[in-house]
Structure 1
Amino acid sequence: MTADPPRPAPRLGLPAHHAWLDAECRRLLAFGARSALPDGGAAYLDTAGVPDPGHGVLTWITARTTHAYSLGVLLGVPGSAPVADAALAALTGRLRDTAHGGWFHALGPDGTPDRAAGKSCYDHAFVLLAASSAALAGRPGGTGLLTDAAEVHLTRFWDDAAGRPLDTWDADFTRPDDYRGLNATMHSVEAMLAVADAVEVLDDPAGTAVGGGAAAWRDRAARAARFVVDLAAAHDGRLPEHFGPDWTPDLDFHRSRPDDPFRPYGATPGHGLEWSRLLVTVEAAMGADATLAEAAVRLFDRAVADGWDADGAAGFVYTTDWDGTPVVRQRMHWVVAEAIAAAAALHRRTGERRYADSYAAWWDYAERHLLDRTGGSWWHELDPQNVPATTVWPGKPDIYHALQATLLPRLPLAPTLARALRSGLLDPPPAADSRPESG
């Protein structure tokens, strides 16, 4: 009997694969460069990468663009600085509410601030992330924005008694909404870890003083993360997304609007994957914690079991019911990007081959179905037959998720992206991680 040939080495860590990731990273940065607006801000891009003025200027798009192109600056990619600076100019300028503080959700096509949407933690978490990356990339105004964004986040959104943030205020910051959400919490954790890394490196005393310093920011992130550990255990790895003011889950929220782009009904496998990666990142920042690692595995396994190939076709469904039955079967690009990042993180954390195999399978899926080699970037939404669709996400708004999927597999679990790039940690060997020294 002939023995089976040895399995090929995992794709993770191969120099040729890292070169492929680098090329894809640069392709994405080239596509998104047209988002820079002359008056400051970042445009919502259509399928060809052309700014779509009908969407106005969105704070979360502008902040994510500032973050992405600050990473481009740290990577040394030509053309990144003007895009980062154009986006940053709106965060320090016309998107700010100088009367009541914080940032408007958006400016309309005519430049009028959107006051009806109020002030959201989701938007402000991305401003905080953008400021951290811009400051570490040395962009003009980045450090000042970091100080301001940190103060707003702490005074308006962070609920220290609960150990997690409020979700939404009215436009004047006079009344918070009763709704609490896990999506804003997730991006706050991401941003707070980035702030910790930024203030630990920067010499600016005002920046380092806000919020009690790096250790305090990491502690806040860890408190919110441990809430998710408990949620994952209580709900068999399916995370409730929507809560009342006392953080009681509302499992029927938006049952009549199941495909909402930000607050869909049911469990969202993509967020289970995103939280899985973040829990591993929190552990790397704080020190070994088996409960975080175990919860990361639980979330990953549940998201894959419920979401991947769930209806007879390749891809992750958008949402499921509380028994794992698919509800919205559209395929979103960001879910695959987060699956790739989570698999890479868990492989680095555990060394288990199954994560490397999933990582390879999901990049194969992305190459076949999501990467648009003609028009650029990634299709943001596919239908259940993996045909490009616009039911939830028209166009190709920004490159945040896809760009990070090309970088996270080539970096250690800590520190966060901008600090890791600034410290020259890109493309480390695929070995067990330890947190690098400050500096």
Structure 2
Amino acid sequence: MDYSAEDPAPPEWTREQGSGLVAWAGHSRQAHGFAWLDDDGRPRPEQGVQSWITARTTHVSALHAREHGGAAADLAEHGVRSLRESLRDAEHGGWFSTVSFDGSPIDTDKAGYQHAFVLLAASTSTSAGVPEAAELLADASATVLDRFWDAEAGRAAESFDRSFSRGEDYRGANSNMHMVEAFLAAGAATGDPAWAQRALAIAEFLIRDQAAAHGYRLPEHYTADWRVLPDYNRDRPADPFRPYGWTPGHSLEWARLLLHVEAAVERPAAWLLPAAEELFSTAVEASWARDGADGFCYTLDWDDRPVIRERMHWVATEACAAAHALHARTGGAGYAESARKWWAHVRAYFVDAAQNWRHETDPHGRPSTTVWSGRPDVYHAYTALSFAAGTPIPGYAVLGAGAAPEGKAST
């Protein structure tokens, strides 16, 4: 995407920031994976080594190594080894949610959210040629399809106990959204079109059916038989993974993912692009400066009243990435202008001199820890920088302006 000289995310800056984020993530390296970092880049032993952080760091390191090589390649190899050995349950299969710094299991539940990121890391690392990644991908694919994927429903289960003998009486849109991302990456790594069809099936239910029925405000929480739970966690609204209400940042993330699904499936449905634009516009109108201050309010109730007003770096960066993707797909100048505005916001409030992006601020731009403490994750920021720079990401194909995918027809 071409921007003027006033572009707040010029190529040299995005390259510098991407390298800085990978270097920051390298501080989290432990013997058994990657740790949660505090604000000063120190690992937090009380958080252990978590599969989702290890997988995300592996994914980002593999992306950076694919383009630039260097130390990121070693980080990606370490991540793949950790996911194949330390974090994997050799007895029952699948991946522990958390192990301690000495490698002993802490949280032995098997969560779909974590498994989606293991599949993503394995897929990206395979595409990047990381040693042993193909073996990790084979293992992750089999586990996700055998344990989590409900082919009849066209959606994924949420979580199980260690032995996969007891499942949780809950289904979540968040974990399924990340399954879409992982499925697209797996399709890119393997060439198997069935992965994109699975991603489409999830999108059909959650976006075409559920989000559209709720004014493109996506319900996040469901019973085991997929009935909406609109009041879920009303008494715990700041839960970091299952907050009450609807989450505009996920709508922005979904807007981009729908374009990737459109590009990946053999015969993309006509509803995908309009739904992406509706998700985007609804989230922006409802959340940006909703309380009078610049920034995206994190969560809203079903009347679009702010619930958690804090601003998250991941929401702002996903907004940037979605704007880039929609501009690439449609050519709409408004999307390019939105990306410029939000990158300026990101630089003003989330990027500090040490390139270890703040995770959360209050509505006035001051550091906050209402939802997130420390700085455990570079995945969202790195993704947005890649879109700003036009760097390809396996599984994240985006159409050229106004065009259908080559060799495909819209229906």
Common fold by TM > 0.5: yes
CA distance in 1 between partners of 2:273 and 2:181 (Å): 17
- Corresponding letter in the other structure for 1:382: T
**Cα contact 1:26–1:77 (8 A) shared by 2:** no
Partner of 2:299: 319
Partner of 2:49: 57
**Cα contact 1:12–1:356 (8 A) shared by 2:** no
Where do 5+ consecutive residues of structure 2 fail to align? Answer: none
Bigger drift between 362-371 and 343-352 goes to 343-352
Partner of 1:390: 369
CA distance in 2 between partners of 1:12 and 1:123 (Å): 41
- Corresponding letter in the other structure for 2:11: H
Partner SS, residue 65 of structure 1 = helix
1:27 and 2:20 aligned:
yes
Change beyond 3 A, Cα 1:301–1:11: farther
Query: How is 1:234-253 mapped onto 2 (pairs within 5 angstroms)?
Result: 234-253=213-232
Match of 1:364 among 330, 333, 344: 344
**Cα contact 2:99–2:107 (8 A) shared by 1:** no
- Corresponding letter in the other structure for 2:215: D
**Cα contact 2:83–2:118 (8 A) shared by 1:** yes
CA distance in 1 between partners of 2:85 and 2:211 (Å): 40
Question: TM-score, normalized by length of structure 2?
Answer: 0.93
Match of 1:301 among 270, 278, 281: 281
Bigger drift between 136-145 and 18-27 goes to 18-27
Partner of 1:18: 11
CA distance in 1 between partners of 2:360 and 2:96 (Å): 27
- Corresponding letter in the other structure for 1:274: E
- Corresponding letter in the other structure for 2:200: A
Partner of 1:350: 330
Where do 5+ consecutive residues of structure 1 fail to align? Answer: 1-8, 201-213
Cα deviation per residue 1:201-256 (whole Å; 9 max; x = unaligned)?
Answer: xxxxxxxxxxxxx1111110011111122212100011000000111110000000
CA distance in 2 between partners of 1:216 and 1:284 (Å): 14
Runs of 4+ in structure 1 over 6 Å off: 12-16
CA distance in 2 between partners of 1:86 and 1:327 (Å): 39
Match of 1:161 among 128, 152, 176: 152
Partner of 2:394: 418
Partner SS, residue 418 of structure 1 = coil
Partner of 1:88: 80
Partner SS, residue 114 of structure 1 = strand
Change beyond 3 A, Cα 1:419–1:302: closer
Partner of 1:217: 195
CA distance in 2 between partners of 1:138 and 1:436 (Å): 26
Query: How is 1:107-186 mapped onto 2 (pairs within 5 angstroms)?
Result: 107-115=99-107, 118-186=109-177
Partner of 2:209: 230
CA distance in 1 between partners of 2:216 and 2:201 (Å): 19
**Cα contact 2:290–2:297 (8 A) shared by 1:** yes
Q: Post-superposition shift, 1:115? A: 3.7
Q: Post-superposition shift, 1:40? A: 3.0
Change beyond 3 A, Cα 1:232–1:398: same
Partner SS, residue 327 of structure 1 = strand
CA distance in 2 between partners of 1:105 and 1:12 (Å): 45
* Aligned-residue CA RMSD (Å): 2.3
Q: Post-superposition shift, 1:389? A: 1.2
Match of 1:292 among 269, 272, 279: 272
Bigger drift between 253-262 and 28-37 goes to 28-37
Change beyond 3 A, Cα 1:433–1:17: farther
Q: Post-superposition shift, 1:387? A: 0.5
CA distance in 1 between partners of 2:377 and 2:294 (Å): 24
CA distance in 1 between partners of 2:222 and 2:85 (Å): 33
Q: Post-superposition shift, 1:109? A: 4.4
Match of 1:36 among 26, 29, 33: 29
Cα deviation per residue 1:143-199 (whole Å; 9 max; x = unaligned)?
Answer: 000000000000000001110100011111001111000000000000000000000
CA distance in 2 between partners of 1:328 and 1:125 (Å): 26
**Cα contact 2:249–2:315 (8 A) shared by 1:** yes
Task: Give identity over the alignment, percent.
Answer: 46
CA distance in 1 between partners of 2:383 and 2:227 (Å): 32
Partner of 1:274: 253
1:330 and 2:310 aligned:
yes
**Cα contact 2:122–2:136 (8 A) shared by 1:** yes
CA distance in 1 between partners of 2:259 and 2:395 (Å): 17
